[in-house]
Amino acid sequence: MKKFVAIFHANLNYAYLIPQNYERVIRASYEVILDTFMKKHPNSRFIFEASGYTIDQMAAITPDVLAKLKAAVKSGQCEFMGAPYSHPLMANIPEEDGRWSCEFAMRSCEKHLGFRPESFWNPECTWMQYVPRAFRAAGVKYLTLDFESYMICNDKNYGWVERNRSTDIGWGGHLPWYDLDPDCKFLHRPFRDIVPGLHGICRSDRLIGKCLGYLRGNNVTLDALMENIIYWSGTKDEGSTVVMADDAEYCGTTGYYYVKHYNDYSRSFDIDPEAPRLLDEFIAELSKAGQMITFKEACEEKAVEEPFFVEDRFAWHRTYASVWGNTPEAKRYDPLVSELRREYKEQVQPIAEADPRFKDMVGKFWFHLTNSANSDGRWPPPPSVTCKFNRDWVEAEIESTRKVLAELKQKVAGLPMPPPPKPKMEAGDGVYGYYFTDKDVQDVRSLSHYELQHDIYEAHKMVDSKRPQVQKDGIRFLKKVFDELDRRDMKGIRPPKIRPEEDEPKYRLAHRAKAAKAKPRPAKAKPAKKSAADKSAKSKRK
């Protein structure tokens, strides 16, 4: 039986969603989703995801809708999925900031829902190698991943077709699509230990785009939507397929649709009276075609053997985190936030975070600082115009950060700065000294391409050791790494110390054999210089 995953992404920090419309969106979209599943499709399971900010607003504005969410979760029909508190792009902020934003979301969930969620949404699926560590540090066990990002970075043929070579394109939907086999295992099966203890499964624009087109009535019929879902769910019925993983607001309002596609700002988040019917009919057909399961259940299915790897700065929709980071607003706000962060880390953090008396103020500083990174205060990019409310919200958070920092600086003034922490590196040669993974560095099959390349340098530090045994261990280690590169079809010429003769290219072996057989030519003797007497005798003969 086919298994489907439907994630409804709720974000009241949305661009062009102003506070006057919060209740409208909650009731027309979020409540409609909850009522449709619980009253009309009680046997169909689903995932409702929301940021910490969204949960706080629901608790304040519509506690009755929040009560429905809690009831759905308690019944087991709904899995609640969290998200960083104010929807920052995790790749555009430091790891420490991302961890704090996830932690604040966890606290809101704990306060209003009574638990800390295990599954989390990665906004826009932006990626840096430290992003999964930030989620895991906050207690996250399951994370949303992006299929197109993974395939572009891991499949040479796929990447040649689909890689977006223009980092300023905000959406790669009109770019060519690779002729993909719908049974591709990475589309249906989860990844284990993205970092140790954190698992995930991919969502794909191949499915989500049609789903949003249907919900918005954008010339996608229910038959066309289901045909697309059945096709991309494959023929093997292994694992599951994420059929919905995008904005919940589209399930009851026009959302951001008209701003995005028509530059029409007058129709943002209008109620769509057809939305409840469209959602109801979609769930009914989906439930007939297969079993709807939770995200956690999908992540616990049989996993692929390959490690998860995505290059730095990738994002969903075949684009990059820099698209959000290069808007005029981002260029204006980010330097201000960076300077506040620098002042705090240099002048306050070593003292304040070591003293429990400052715990509440430290939390307040990080809360406002991480809110200052809200993505939708920096979106959309030109020629579209950002919403004044979203800009004002971010600017108010920056100002609050500045005030808390000034108060903290005043409180710690005169207190002694603790000595800097000692490096955690072991003494002696053979130590790489660069942190790149929590995994076992000798378990090369579990390492991503990024980690495997660092592994080469780790081994080379051993090879360069002055101790013979460390050198030998390093050579064995290095050979293991290059064997793994060969297994992944990343063959290359090996370093001389680990390269068996049979690994050399044939042309080089032939050249060496020919050179060994060739006999050296004797050097020609230079003629002796003639003396003056010889020259005189020759002249007389003439």
pLDDT tens for residues 49-76?
999 999 999 999 999 999 999 999 999 9
| Per-residue model confidence (pLDDT) at position 236 | 92
CATH code: domain of residue 263: 3.20.110.20
| Per-residue model confidence (pLDDT) at position 542 | 46
Assess whether 362 and 401 both reside in one domain. Answer: yes
Assess whether 60 and 205 both reside in one domain. Answer: yes
For residues 190 and 176, is the Cβ–Cβ distance under 8 A? no
* Residue 138: Cβ within 10 Å count: 20
- Exposed/middle/buried for residue 456 (C-beta within 10 Å: 0-12, 13-18, 19+): middle
For residues 129 and 190, is the Cβ–Cβ distance under 8 A? no
> Would 538 be classed as within a structural domain?
no
Query: How far is C-alpha 414 from the geometric centre of its chain's CA atoms?
Result: 42
> Would 125 be classed as within a structural domain?
yes
Q: Distance between CA 491 and CA 507 in Å, rounded?
A: 16
Phi, psi angles (nearest 5°) of residue 6: -125, 115
Reading the block at residue 179, the tokens are: 């002729």
For residues 399 and 337, is the Cβ–Cβ distance under 8 A? no
For residues 88 and 48, is the Cβ–Cβ distance under 8 A? no
> Between 147-154 and 205-215, two packed helices, what is the crossing angle to 10 degrees?
150
> Would 286 be classed as within a structural domain?
yes
Report how far apart, in Å, the C-alpha atoms of 246 and of each of 123, 148, 213, 226, 250 are. 10, 15, 12, 17, 9
Assess whether 232 and 361 both reside in one domain. Answer: no
Domain span including residue 484: 444-512
Render pLDDT for 272-330 as a digit per residue (tens, 0 to 9). Answer: 999 999 999 999 999 999 999 999 999 999 999 999 999 999 999 999 999 999 999 99
- In degrees, rounded to 5, the angle at the alpha carbon of residue 80 between the alpha carbons of residues 75 and 86 is 150
Give me the residues of the chain with pLDDT under 50, please. 542
| Per-residue model confidence (pLDDT) at position 469 | 93
| Per-residue model confidence (pLDDT) at position 412 | 97
Choosing from 368, 393, 412, the residue where a domain stops is 412
Q: Provide the 8-state DSSP code for 78.
A: E
Residue 383: cis peptide before it, omega within 30 degrees of 0: yes
> Would 438 be classed as within a structural domain?
no
Choosing from 279, 299, 324, the residue where a domain stops is 324
Assess whether 365 and 404 both reside in one domain. Answer: yes
> Would 23 be classed as within a structural domain?
yes
Reading the block at residue 201, the tokens are: 């499964």
Assess whether 342 and 288 both reside in one domain. Answer: no
Q: Distance between CA 393 and CA 376 in Å, rounded?
A: 10
For residues 103 and 68, is the Cβ–Cβ distance under 8 A? no
Assess whether 252 and 314 both reside in one domain. Answer: yes
Assess whether 314 and 228 both reside in one domain. Answer: yes
Q: Which helix (H) or strand (E) holds 281?
A: helix 275-289
375: Cβ contacts below 8 Å, ≥ 6 apart: 13, 87, 88, 89, 92, 123, 124, 324
For residues 197 and 161, is the Cβ–Cβ distance under 8 A? no
> Can you list the alpha helix ranges (DSSP code H) found in 124-256?
131-137, 147-154, 156-162, 205-215, 222-232
Assess whether 408 and 279 both reside in one domain. Answer: no
Q: Which helix (H) or strand (E) holds 22?
A: helix 22-25
Assess whether 252 and 389 both reside in one domain. Answer: no
Reading the block at residue 450, the tokens are: 């990024």
> Would 525 be classed as within a structural domain?
no
Q: Which helix (H) or strand (E) holds 338?
A: helix 328-347
| Per-residue model confidence (pLDDT) at position 395 | 98
| Per-residue model confidence (pLDDT) at position 92 | 98
> Would 439 be classed as within a structural domain?
no
Assess whether 309 and 348 both reside in one domain. Answer: no
- The number of distinct structural domains making up the chain is 3
Report how far apart, in Å, the C-alpha atoms of 263 and of each of 329, 372, 415 are. 18, 26, 54
Assess whether 486 and 393 both reside in one domain. Answer: no
For residues 396 and 335, is the Cβ–Cβ distance under 8 A? no
**505 HSE (CA, 13 A, CB side):** 6
Reading the block at residue 59, the tokens are: 């608790």
| Per-residue model confidence (pLDDT) at position 494 | 86
For residues 214 and 220, is the Cβ–Cβ distance under 8 A? yes
| Per-residue model confidence (pLDDT) at position 233 | 97
Q: Distance between CA 402 and CA 368 in Å, rounded?
A: 9
> Would 28 be classed as within a structural domain?
yes
Assess whether 134 and 56 both reside in one domain. Answer: yes
* Residue 156: Cβ within 10 Å count: 9
Three-state secondary structure call for residue 41 = coil
Reading the block at residue 314, the tokens are: 């990738």
Three-state secondary structure call for residue 283 = helix
Choosing from 265, 290, 324, the residue where a domain stops is 324
